[in-house]
Structure 1
Amino acid sequence: MLHRIWLSFIVCAFFATVWQGFIGDNPEGFQAVMQAVTSMAQLSVDIAIGLIGVLAFWLGIFEVAEKAGLIAKFSKVLAPLLCRIMPDIPRNHPALGSITMNMSANVLGLDNAATPFGIKAMQDMQTLAPKKDTLTNSQILFLVMNTSSVTLFPIAVFLYRAEQGAAQPTDVFIPILLATSASTLAGLFITCLVQKVNLFNRVVVLYLVGIFGLLGAVIVYFSHLAANELASQSAVVANFLLFTFIVVVLVAGWRKHLNTYELFIDGAKKGFDVAVSLIPFLLAMLIAIGMLRASGILDMVVNGVGYIVTFFGGDPRFVEGLPTAIMKPLSGSGARALMIETMQHHGADSFAGRLASVLQGSTETTFYVLAVYLGAVGIKHSRYAVACCLAADFAGILAAIFVSYWFFG
């Protein structure tokens, strides 16, 4: 599936560039596409190098946590739920602990910690895979939950809105949480339906009710805070929890008379190797995305949707936010740039500006996540993972448009 999408990106970019170059009177398009290839190739290396330090640190901490027995304890928190929606993972397996840590980091918006935990989870699940080059059901569901993960604190969106002069930068807080929750639920239901997992099991229902009840309580509390209070409180809470985890891990290792320094070094070495191995996978995907963007395909899609909506008498205002929606699964930095451009052109407090902000916070960068996590374990056959991830993205986009009309229309 992934190789077909990758090839289709490049072929579509080629035909679009040929059309513009020979029929649309835009011969510079060929140069723009090849410049995108060069810049994306450099970006793939920069990303991998940038991940080396972070991966080395967190995998070092994770090595200590695993040997100290903390990962086994963490796994018990969500084990009853994960064992039912991921039945091919045995109870007390290390994967349950790393999945729990990854999901916790994602909820808190700690991307720097979530990625190493996610890579560790993929590696742990890989030990159970009957075919080492093919995703298992659990790995697919894990990827879907990562690409559609609920993030309680989309601080970056608030900061960009403040920079662009929004009167109340956090007015998109609840719409973002509603949209990203819809994306996560849709991804979970669709993937479990494909895998024939019973989501109406009593234990699963109780966990889901508890999780979303907690999310609701957090939404109610933080929705009453001003922008600066929200940013400061969420940052303090998230970083306090992260720092506490580091100290607890090291102290637990010391109490068990482990050589925490040597264990940390052993884990850090693995982080370096993993980061370097990601380069080919990032290179392939980022180049295809860069070519697609430079060819003008995205602009043609947006203009076509706008024409169809207008033709049938619909409200076309949401079309102005679609570039962010289309770019988000492909490129996080590209989507962020389009969100800022939309706010600059239409105003941060315009419908388009708010919609772009909600879309930016509603889903993750799907193909980046797939490239990193599949590359970390050398997966070649993704099965139906891409389709489920994109279905969750689509649900998040629809929810973002709906709640934006509801709150700001």
Structure 2
Amino acid sequence: MNRFFFALVLIAFGVTAWQEIRWIPGTAGDSPMQTLTNGMVEAANGSVTLSIGMVGVMALFLGLMKVAEEGGLLTVLARLIRPLMVRLFPDVPADHPAMGAMILNLSANALGLGNAATPFGIRAMKELDRLNPSPGVATNAMALFLAINTSSVTLVPTSVIALRASVGSSEPAAILSTTLFATFFSTSVAILAAKFLQSFSPVDHLTAVDDGREDQAKDRGEPAEGPSTPVEGYPVWVSTVALLVLLALIPVTILFGRSISPWVLPALMTGMLSFGFVRGVRVYEVFVEGAREGFEIGVRIIPYLVAILVAVGMLRSSGALGAFTDLIGPWTARFGLPAEALTMAILRPLSGSGAQGYLASLLQNPAIGPDGYIGLLTSTLQGSSETTFYILAVYYGAIRIRRVRHTLAAALIGDLAGIVAAVFICFWLYGG
């Protein structure tokens, strides 16, 4: 992110400096450098306004998520996907703490609970490392788990909906259907890729790269971290029915996505509050507690948005972004991927905050807006993909894995599949 941020500023300044040298004083309009200065100030002010606008919507969604979590929705999802997980990960014992942590991580991701998903994910990696015969080398289970994690099915892309609402979208939840379609496709491809590629990178010929480390818990026989009680699953037929229902939602979103989207937010709020109320949750108090967390998060991201939006604003004011779009736009647009969306697709796996800031700048652009094809496509790309390199660095870094084997390849293949699926579904529903 440091290099990306610095590169944006440097490119914008360099292009503007060249224009300033060639500029003839006295011509109409401000000088290129003055235009760049004005763009920086406007972007800084706009980023704070945008952040404040996001606070309310973020508080709303995290309040609802807190009610659902307290009501046990996370556990319900975990029990639904357990029968599938034990088949996907045959190397992990069904009653091992790693299985429970992985299930909770993926369930939290599905609900858009990023803050809850990360601790579960790191705990899962630590537990998987206890089953690792070659310390420092990623196992097949680790690679598959991270491939799924970076492309996992998303039911509620909370932050993107909040961003769309804050910039005045008439249908902020319109991307729920497109995100579900894209993430289901990307997850399926990521699983197949991880299973296929693992045979081309066997562990047998690799030796542990961390043999000298003190592997405390294994050697001392300490109990494993994580849930002491495994997450029990529902009967297989229940999970099968749930999976079929999820699959049935995909053609429904293709055929009726535009008609359904206005119902989503009211139904989501009513449904989650009803679920919590029936489960005995004090919905008002819990909602307020979750909303408070949303408020804190909304305030916390202001410096990050200021940094990236000022950098993007400089790039736009300098004319460099327009030149880049004009150069490759005609080529990628033929396939339903305008240059702006291509930039988002490339940026998303590299930098989450960078992609968020870039998306914000696009949605605020009057020529694009949140409800046009480009706005919906880039919103779907943001909501249906993950910061692949960041996740690999954090999760593998937590257990000091140096040889990731086929993990990155499987994750990037899943990312590519998600891009293709997002373009297809957005083009089908909203046109190019």
TM over 0.5: yes
User: CA, structure 1 residues 138+361, in 2 after alignment: closer, same or farther (shift >3 Å)?
Assistant: same
Q: Deviations over 1:217-239 (max 9, x none)?
A: 66769946535414524664798
Q: Name the aligned partner's letter for residue 400 of structure 2.
A: G
1:113 correspondence with 2:113: no
User: What is the match of residue 325 of structure 1?
Assistant: 345
In 2, distance between residues paired with 1:238 and 1:380? 44
Residue from 168, 172, 176 that aligns with 2:171: 168
Residue number among 147, 153, 156 corresponding to 1:150 in the alignment: 153
Q: 1:92 to 1:108 in 2, by over 3 A?
A: same
Match of 2:390 among 365, 368, 386: 368
What code does the residue aligned with 1:323 have? T
Question: Within the alignment, does 1:334 sit opposite 2:354 as a pair?
Answer: yes
Q: CA deviation at 1:329?
A: 1.0
- Correspondence for 1:90 among 93, 96, 101: 93
The answer for unaligned runs of 5 or more in structure 2 is 21-32, 34-74, 201-235, 282-303
User: Which of 397, 401, 407 is the matching residue for 2:419?
Assistant: 397
Structure 1 unmatched runs, 5+? 1-5, 29-70, 198-204, 245-285
Q: Which residue matches 1:385?
A: 407
Q: With the length of structure 1 as denominator, give the TM-score of the two structures.
A: 0.61
Q: How far apart are residue 206 of structure 1 and its match?
A: 8.4
Give yes or no for contact 2:81–2:239 (8 Å, CA) kept in 1. Answer: no
Residues 1:242 and 1:341: Cα distance change in structure 2 (over 3 Å):
farther
Deviations 1:195-219 (A, max 9, x none): 359xxxxxxx989964542324667
CA contact (8 A) 2:337 2:423 kept: no
- The code of the aligned residue for 2:173 comes to T
Q: Considering only CA atoms, is the larger Rg found in Structure 1 or Structure 2?
A: 2
Paired residue secondary structure (1:114): helix
1: CA distance, partners of 2:170 / 2:105: 34
Q: Determine helix, strand or coil for the equivalent of 2:338.
A: helix
In 1, Cα distance between equivalents of 2:391 and 2:336: 31
Question: Using the alignment, how far apart are the partners of 2:134 and 2:114 within structure 1?
Answer: 29
Separation in structure 2 between the aligned mates of residue 217 and residue 240 of structure 1, nearest angstrom = 28
Matched, 1:192 2:200: no
Distance in 2 (alpha carbons) for counterparts of 1:242 and 1:375:
39
2:347 pairs with 1:344: no
C-alpha distance in 1, partners of 2:351/2:181?
22
For residues 190 and 238 of structure 2, what CA distance do their matches in structure 1 show? 17
RMSD, aligned CA = 4.5
Q: Secondary structure at the match of 1:152?
A: coil
> What is the DSSP-based 3-state SS (H/G/I as helix, E as strand, rest coil) of the residue aligned with 2:138?
coil
Residue 182 (structure 1) aligns with:
185
Query: Identity of aligned pairs, percent?
Result: 35
Shift of 1:89: 1.5
Q: Which residue of 1 aligns with 2:44?
A: none
Return the offset for 1:86. Answer: 2.1
Residue matched to 2:263: 226
Residue 354 (str. 1) matches residue 391 (str. 2): no
| Whole-Å separation in 1 of the counterparts to 2:95 and 2:103 | 12
Distance 2:372 2:125 in 1: 41
Task: Please list the CA deviations of residues 350-388 of structure 1 after superposition, one character each: whole Å capped at 9, or x if unmatched.
Answer: 111111111111111112211221121121221121111
**Are the equivalent residues in 1 in contact too, given 2:186–2:415 (CA < 8 A)?**
yes
- Select 2:246's aligned residue among 188, 191, 215: 215
In the alignment, which of 126, 130, 135 is matched to residue 127 of structure 1? 130
**Kept in 1: contact 2:190–2:411 (CA 8 A):** yes
Q: In structure 1, what is the Cα distance between the partners aligned to 2:161 and 2:328?
A: 32
Contact kept, 8 Å, 2:80 with 2:239, in 1: the verdict is no
C-alpha distance in 2 between matches for 1:391 and 1:302? 29
Q: Distance in 1 between matches of 2:275 and 2:151?
A: 20
Matched positions, count: 306
Q: CA deviation at 1:77?
A: 6.1
**Which structure carries more helix by proportion?**
1
Quick check: 206-215 or 87-96, which moved more? 206-215
CA contact (8 A) 1:78 1:96 kept: no
On the 8 A contact 1:125/1:139 being kept in 2, the answer is yes
Q: Structure 1: how far apart are the matches of 2:345 and 2:173?
A: 20
Provide the rounded CA distance (Å) in 1 between the counterparts of 2:369 and 2:146.
35
Pick closer, same or farther for the CA change 1:207–1:189 going to 2, 3 Å.
farther
Q: TM-score w.r.t. structure 2 length?
A: 0.58
Counterparts of 1:51-62 in structure 2 under 5 Å? Answer: none
